[in-house]
Amino acid sequence: MSRVEVIPLPGVPEVKKGDDLGKLVLEAAERNHVTLLDGDVVVVKHKIVSKSEGRVIELSGVAPSPEAIRLADREGKDPRLVELILREAVRVVREGHGVIITQTRHGFVCANSGIDQSNVGMGFAALLPLDPDDSARKLRATLESATGKALAVVVSDTFGRPWRKGQTDVAIGCSGIAPLVKYAGKTDSYGYKLRVTEPAVIDEIAGAAELAIGKLNGIPCAIVRGVEYTRGEGGIGELIMPSDRDLFR
């Protein structure tokens, strides 16, 4: 068994479109006297990724469609926000209680297409990155080039769950790490052969990082150290449940 450590990196300035996230993370690590080591997993909140990629939209410039206006009226939401939700969705899965559950172009089934209005300023909304895996790959490349270390990167966001109250952070993109640990065929300490057990290690890492980052502390990234994981280039698609096996849709 290994000891897992989560190291928050406070001090990242407000991120703007075009900013070099790798440079900002490295500068935050230096200010906090943290040296990146082989095997470290750098977790970044999707919000700073979206900001750097220009995925923050001013609502005043959004013209809602008739469909968005009808849906907003039913759910008590800003029709401009609903228009963005619909633009980011490939389909609406369900609506009710002021929430619109959609399937995004990434394959995520989540509230409001993952669009968030917190920590972006009044009158603005942050969309999910277009390709969070690619965002993670680019950030990892910058960090590895600068440090000479073998690293992994996880892009995280906060998701609810249909069968439990509350939210938890999960991975929406990754690089340098296999998303799943596959235990099928292995035997437990009682001799039982596991059949389907596949811990989503990148989700566990995202959740662990959130414990140190917090929601209101203005800390958008952390290093998770000591996790035993398999190096890999698989992306978030490995965690998307195929529709023919999804019992909740």
Q: Which of 8, 36, 2, 1 is nearest to 226 (CA)?
A: 2
CATH architecture of 57-125: Alpha-Beta Complex (3.90)
Domain boundaries, the chain: 5-53+131-238, 57-125
Question: What confidence score (pLDDT) does residue 155 get?
Answer: 98
Are the C-beta atoms of residues 66 and 245 closer than 8 Å to each other? Answer: no
| Digit-coded pLDDT (tens) for 34-67 | 999 999 999 999 999 999 999 999 999 999 999 9
Please state which CATH number belongs to domain 5-53+131-238.
3.30.1330.100
User: Any residues with CB less than 8 A from the CB of 191 and at least 6 apart, and which?
Assistant: none
Question: Which residue matches tokens 């609810």?
Answer: 160
Residue 81 and residue 125 in contact, taking contact as beta carbons nearer than 8 Å: yes
The residues, any chain, with a CB within 8 Å of residue 229's CB and separated by 6 or more, are 39, 41, 152, 177, 178, 181, 201
One-letter amino acid for residue 219 of the chain = I
Domains 5-53+131-238 and 57-125 share a fold: no
Q: In the prediction, which pLDDT does 203 show? A: 97
pLDDT of residue 195: 65
> Please, are residues 88 and 113 in contact by the beta-carbon 8 Å criterion?
yes
Q: Which residue has the higher pLDDT, 243 or 15?
A: 15
Write the Ramachandran bin of 190: left for phi over 0, alpha for psi from -120 to 50, otherwise beta.
alpha
Confidence of residue 237 (pLDDT cuts 50, 70, 90): very high
CA distance 180 to 230: 9
Average pLDDT over residues 112-133: 94
Element holding 9 (H helix, E strand): none
DSSP 53-95: TT-EEEGGG----HHHHHHHHHHT--HHHHHHHHHTEEEEEEE
- Residue 124: Cβ within 10 Å count: 15
Return the number of other C-beta atoms located less than 10 Å from residue 121's C-beta: 12
